[in-house]
A = this chain, B = another copy of it.
Amino acid sequence: MAKRPPTIPDSELDVLKVLWDRGQATVREALETLRSAGRQWSYATVATLLDRLESKGLVTSDRRELAFIYKPVISNQEVRQKRVTNLVDKLYQGEPGLLVLHLLKSHPLDAEQAREVRAVLDQMVGEKSRKKEK
């Protein structure tokens, strides 16, 4: 029985996001933030989630005075990376292009972002045609 690799469930992700936003937080601080963001959790729930994140090695805790202070170990970027890759693999036959196309069609960008995207595209093609002249 292969043990399942650790995942980040939605609830834990919400907590993790708080840590990303503030850099670090105690259980109570995280709770406050989550409360004002609409999450109706009890103190214990947040504590449990932080605990689980820690056992997965995604955050560290450091006891300062009264309470534990939690900090993220994994970055927003890393999580994004994993999720996106997973999505592309599972639903877009590993073809990131399909996802990009889909995104553009179903979630239109504003002009500013369109410009940025174009810029990145240009650069990409440029590199390719210049065959890494460096």
Contact = CB atoms under 8 A, between A and B. Distances in A.
A100 B109 contact: yes
A84 B103 contact: yes
Interface residues of A, number: 40
A83 B117 CA distance: 22
Interface stretch (A28-36, A51-59, A66-74, A87-95): A87-95
Given A97-B113, A121-B117, A79 B108 contact: no
B103 A99 contact: yes
A107 interface: yes
Interface of A: 10, 13, 76, 79-81, 83-85, 87-88, 90-92, 95-97, 99-111, 113-114, 116-118, 120-121, 124-125, 128
